[in-house]
Structure 1
Amino acid sequence: MADLHVSKKTIGKLFNEMQNKKFVIPDYQRPYKWNIEKCETLWEDIENFAQTDAKKEADYFLGTIVSYNNNIGSLEIIDGQQRITSFFLLLRSFYKKLEAMPEDDDVKGLKNQLAPCIWDINPISQKVSDKNKIHIESLVATESDNETFHEILKTGEASLDANDNYSKNYLFFKYKCDEYATINPLQWKELCVTILQKCILLPIECDTPETALTIFSTLNDRGMPLSDSDIFKAQIYRSKVTKVERGDFTGTWKDLTAICEQGDFVIDDIFRYYTHILRARNNDKSKEVGLRKFYSESNYSKLKKDGIINEIMELANFWRYVNKDIEPEESNYSISLENRKYIHCLFHYPNEYWRYLLSVFFIKNKDSQRFSDDFLTILKKLLASLVYKFIGAPTVNAIKGDVYQSCISIISHNELIFRINWDEESLQSDLNNHHSSRLSRVLLLMDAYLNPNQKDLISSTSDIEHIFPKKWQNTNYNGWDIEDANQYLDRLGNKMILEKKLNIQAGNGYFGIKKSKYANSKIANVKDLANYPNNDWVKADIEIREINFKKNIINFFKTQLLEL
């Protein structure tokens, strides 16, 4: 059973207990993110508390701190690093103010209370002998401002021109100390005592980092728990031997973070895609395991191989290009308009397994002069395979094995391997049942892009238009009754992709009026409907349109799947 200790401690007691040891912010933690707004909220809350409830002997609860005792006797902080860091900056600003004041008994007493919270003190003189011996150390990987934080605590100085959060927040606290001391000279010292003796934390000290992480995940409902990539970042950082290597990696990881933010995905996603590249290289088609478990095998040896961060960066650039059309600098590949038509369809596929296959294809072919042509071939076959199988069996399990096998096949032969049991009669029947499913948008986009007159990409914000409208009105539609409306409304022959603005303008109007709105569309299927000779839209029209729709989709499947 895990060993842990929970206690209630004041800021003064908790920080004072760190004599000859330290709070350590581990390398896998995120950088210090508190801004002046958060510090201002903290200051105002404490100031208000000091003037009200503190006078009634109440306490101000600041939350939990989750940590574990590492092998050198320090407390590694798993949860609470932002608050602890901010309080060190706050206490140092108070001490800086005291250093500038004439030393009467009150000032001397406050300094004696504050000093052992920030530094080790001489056990005999009970004074600070060395201000370099601070009680906190940030080891955050990819954070270049760690030393700035340490220097502020040692010297009490910060540059007015600095842009890091440590400096800006320290200068804010210093300004508030000076301001409060000027406006409330009698209450300023009481405020300092209130922070030390009335602000309460609930430290939870664990015996292992795994226990601490589990407790953190259970308690944390405020911020973001540590991601898998935070752990991976630290492991790769630790594997770098020289200061130059670590500096280069720090810069690279910041670039990776920016690329992922611009591409609208997270770093964990890229590492997940990369697992399928590694699996394919090892001919591994076994059941997928959790991301952290996959990389943690053999002491994270997969993350410490040469070239991994370069491939991760290339993969991130590729997916930013796919998602946001931001072309990487100095790349040997391009994504054509035709490529993007099929990618657009895949964006609406009900799961993300297609991304694993495209990631493997990219790493295999990124330097090929035939990238765009080969990419188009793979995209068509992949879309047809995934959609065909999902129509017959709409579950993830129906395609998992084929995806794993195809990843291996792409690495070795640049080909997909999907087990396809072609049955056109069943396909016709199954399509009837997919008019209102998660797959309907994919099918409608496929039909729209298969129109030879569709030259451009369709807007990503386009809607599904019901030609015979959702809000049925028997006064407007001759030949329809409520039962017919319910039966035909969601059939694929009654739907199409339409630009959002035009969809709003068309509304629930009569078909003969809607056609004038359709004429303004840039979607070929919609323009075709704008030229429809009749002003009424009846059951026979939907049936005929659905027959043509199915013929279009099935011909695409035949072309792609019977070649596999």
Structure 2
Amino acid sequence: MDKIDAKYASIKSIFQSIVYTIPSYQRPYRWEEGQCETLWSDLEEFFFNQDESITSIDRTYFLGNIITVDSDEKKPNNEVFEVIDGQQRLTTLTLFLYALYEHLPEHVTLKQVLFQTEPDSIDEYFGLRIESKVNGKSEFYHLHNTLFDINQPFKKVDLESLSKHIPFANPNFHQNLEFFKAKICDPENGMQYTKDELKQWVNVILSKVFLLKIHTDNQDSALNIFTTINDRGLPLDAGERFKAELYLKAEEDHQEEAFIEAWDALLEGVDEFKELSLVAIFRSHMHLLKAKQTDISDEMGLVKFFQSSAYSLKSRYWRDTMDDLQKILGTESWLLEQKQGKERDHRTTALLLSILESSKKEAPKYAIIAYLFPRMEHNKESNKVYLRKEYYRSFIDFLENLIRFTYYSLFAKKGKDSLRADIIRLLPELVSGNKNIKWNDIASECKHKDALSNDALKKILDTGISGHTLKAMAMLRTYLAYKQESTPNPKLLPSNVAKIKFDQIIPKELKPEDNESIAKRDLINMQKKIGNLLVIEESGKIPKFTRSDWFSQKRIYLDALEHKTAEIIQFLETFTEENWSKEQFLEHQKNSVSKIYNFLRNYNMSTF
């Protein structure tokens, strides 16, 4: 059994005779002034609330956790531990203590806590007790040069000059050190504390501020602990765990630098898009791996999945995993470009993707990635991912069928998370790259039509949908109106789905007296139906027409729109009267339901 040691340790015992190395797979130093302000305020309050005797042990301050593991490195007269979690806290403490040390260079214990010293002489020091390998040791050199020069301990650091000479120079080190120094000695008002107060404060920090130090001799044990401990109530990032495991895999092949370069490129790509996250990329990767093994078991937690023997990150060559992650990122990026609809040919996919997103479910995205992954071309030189031209028309057909599959599953309401289970059943068929996807067979396995009869589906479309689902069906009807054209032209679709608004033909503000031919109850029911929504691309506010001539005013407004979709054109051509009767509305509603019903019932079985 792996040895795990957890103890409540003072800052003095945490640092003395130990060197902490931050492995290269860790994230760079990120703490900013806000976190430093919190740390300063907490420790200042703790210090000034002490009893007169600073050696009393009735009160201590708990600063958080650190997780460490034995290191292969050797240092004379010092143990060496790798930091798995807590590097931000340890680094900030070092900056804080150094700001105090500048005013107390004679404080022996403080010097021993900060520096690796010769056993026979504390005046001879040869390094900090924190060393970083992040960004090829550039983080370490930057921290080292920010704090001191061996020959000139208090030499002023030129940050701009330093950045030119040290790749990846991190300004947070210098900025946070200057923050702590200014708190002790204000540039305008001078020293804020007497030397005795500073000495007492150092003694309190070293002896009465504690960390929970969890140490193990096994890397896997440390990583397991890392993923189960919360930091200030927030779950630790699973991405950091995966990075560590992939790094260790690369280390076996002596390819650490190549891995760090690939990982940083992945993070840089993710950061370009606010809609994306590293965890989402790994979740898509999980579903792809499962689908390739025709594994249709329910979704599980990411960490648990990648720890399982069948899908462990350690079981694959790290480069293959990184290539897959980069391709997933490229696919997500390509989808975002499609959704923007900047090219006329993209308008179709933009609208179909918006219809799927309106389901407010994540599962359809898994299906889209699974379909695209084997059909996308990944140019590794340019790091661009794009859909092969021969698949573009098929992608439209695929999205149509996925809309059918998704909303049929939702309308069937077979149980909690039934859509996710249905999509997971579909994924192996999609990721295989087969030209003929067996939509009907899989829908049958999911018991879609058994759970939802034809009449039941019509009733749901007529009276049983609302909110985001109602809007999704309105967008679908807009798409079907475009397809109904003898020669469908993408310019008859919304040019920017981000500007889509939903106009009520019969406004909610309309009262029965404004239309004497429609009773109050009928009016309220009509206002809630799919036939009452029109998809409009409008940047400004949609005007409200509530007078008795509301319908003629509505027609004038629609006719004056700068961009009219096929649906609006067809609407204006069909309803030319000055008013809209109940009979006309019911016929329009019936046609709307019929179009959507016929679409949902019949999969397009063209070759994919």
TM-score, normalisation: structure 2 = 0.76
| 1:145 equivalent in alignment to 2:185 | no
Equivalence for 1:419? 443
| 1:483 equivalent in alignment to 2:483 | no
Of residues 536, 556, 559, the one that matches 1:516 is 556
Query: CA–CA distance in 1 between the matches of 2:203 and 2:423?
Result: 59
Change (3 A) 1:562 1:250: closer
Q: Which amino acid in structure 2 is aligned with residue 513 of structure 1?
A: Q
| 1:220 equivalent in alignment to 2:232 | yes
Of residues 324, 328, 332, the one that matches 1:315 is 328
Query: CA–CA distance in 1 between the matches of 2:592 and 2:189?
Result: 78
Of residues 393, 403, 406, the one that matches 1:383 is 403
Q: Which amino acid in structure 2 is aligned with residue 312 of structure 1?
A: L
Contact 2:132 2:139 in 1 (8 A): no
Identity %: 19
Contact 1:69 1:75 in 2 (8 A): yes
Stretch of structure 1 that moved more, 428-437 or 379-388? 428-437
Of residues 531, 545, 551, the one that matches 2:588 is 545
Change (3 A) 1:439 1:480: same
Task: For residues 111-164 of structure 1, give each alpha carbon's deviation from its aligned partner in whole angstroms, at most 9, with x where no partner exists.
Answer: x24201212444554x143322x3223455798524422454563564421351
Q: Which amino acid in structure 2 is aligned with residue 432 of structure 1?
A: D
Query: CA–CA distance in 2 between the matches of 1:57 and 1:526?
Result: 81
Equivalence for 2:368? 358
Of residues 226, 230, 242, the one that matches 2:240 is 230
Contact 1:67 1:76 in 2 (8 A): no
Q: Which amino acid in structure 2 is aligned with residue 170 of structure 1?
A: L
Contact 2:11 2:210 in 1 (8 A): no
Contact 1:463 1:497 in 2 (8 A): yes
Equivalence for 1:92? 98
- Deviation, 1:77, is 5.5
| 1:114 equivalent in alignment to 2:110 | yes
Query: CA–CA distance in 1 between the matches of 2:114 and 2:543?
Result: 65
Query: CA–CA distance in 2 between the matches of 1:142 and 1:249?
Result: 12
Query: CA–CA distance in 1 between the matches of 2:222 and 2:576?
Result: 72
Task: For residues 193-248 of structure 1, give each alpha carbon's deviation from its aligned partner in whole angstroms, at most 9, with x where no partner exists.
Answer: 4255258644223365367546632x523xx5322221111222222249994334
Equivalence for 2:32? 35
Equivalence for 1:256? 266
Alignment of 1:51-70 (within 5 A): 64-70=63-69
Alignment of 1:414-453 (within 5 A): 414-417=435-438, 418-420=442-444, 423-436=453-466, 438-452=468-482
Contact 2:105 2:111 in 1 (8 A): no
Change (3 A) 1:39 1:71: closer
Query: CA–CA distance in 2 between the matches of 1:139 and 1:113?
Result: 27
Change (3 A) 1:176 1:535: same
Task: For residues 87-128 of structure 1, give each alpha carbon's deviation from its aligned partner in whole angstroms, at most 9, with x where no partner exists.
Answer: 211322443x35xxxxxxxx5543x24201212444554x14
- Deviation, 1:448, is 0.7
| 1:337 equivalent in alignment to 2:347 | yes
Query: CA–CA distance in 1 between the matches of 2:418 and 2:456?
Result: 16
- Deviation, 1:42, is 5.3
Query: CA–CA distance in 2 between the matches of 1:247 and 1:445?
Result: 49
Change (3 A) 1:287 1:491: same
Query: CA–CA distance in 2 between the matches of 1:238 and 1:214?
Result: 17
Change (3 A) 1:235 1:303: farther
Query: CA–CA distance in 1 between the matches of 2:551 and 2:62?
Result: 61
Stretch of structure 1 that moved more, 256-265 or 227-236? 256-265
Q: Which amino acid in structure 2 is aligned with residue 518 of structure 1?
A: L
Which stretches in structure 2 are left out of the alignment for 5+ residues?
A: 72-78, 164-168, 216-220, 378-387, 486-491
Q: Which amino acid in structure 2 is aligned with residue 386 of structure 1?
A: T
Aligned to 1:70, what secondary structure does the other structure show?
A: strand
Query: CA–CA distance in 2 between the matches of 1:123 and 1:215?
Result: 38
Stretch of structure 1 that moved more, 134-143 or 382-391? 134-143
Change (3 A) 1:429 1:247: same
Which stretches in structure 1 are left out of the alignment for 5+ residues?
A: 99-106, 328-333
| 1:18 equivalent in alignment to 2:12 | no
Q: Which amino acid in structure 2 is aligned with residue 516 of structure 1?
A: I
- Deviation, 1:281, is 2.1
Query: CA–CA distance in 2 between the matches of 1:143 and 1:322?
Result: 37
Aligned to 1:463, what secondary structure does the other structure show?
A: strand
Query: CA–CA distance in 1 between the matches of 2:146 and 2:316?
Result: 34
Give the root-mean-square deviation of aligned CA atoms: 3.9
- Deviation, 1:300, is 2.5
Equivalence for 1:104? none
- Deviation, 1:446, is 0.8
Equivalence for 1:330? none
Alignment of 1:521-536 (within 5 A): 521=561, 522-524=563-565, 525-530=567-572, 532-536=575-579
Query: CA–CA distance in 1 between the matches of 2:435 and 2:195?
Result: 72
Stretch of structure 1 that moved more, 469-478 or 292-301? 469-478
Equivalence for 1:497? 535
Equivalence for 2:385? none
Aligned to 1:277, what secondary structure does the other structure show?
A: helix
Contact 1:143 1:250 in 2 (8 A): no
Q: Which amino acid in structure 1 is aligned with residue 15 of structure 2?
A: M
| 1:130 equivalent in alignment to 2:168 | no
Query: CA–CA distance in 2 between the matches of 1:434 and 1:447?
Result: 17
| 1:280 equivalent in alignment to 2:291 | yes
- Deviation, 1:381, is 1.6
Query: CA–CA distance in 1 between the matches of 2:435 and 2:420?
Result: 18
- Deviation, 1:475, is 4.4
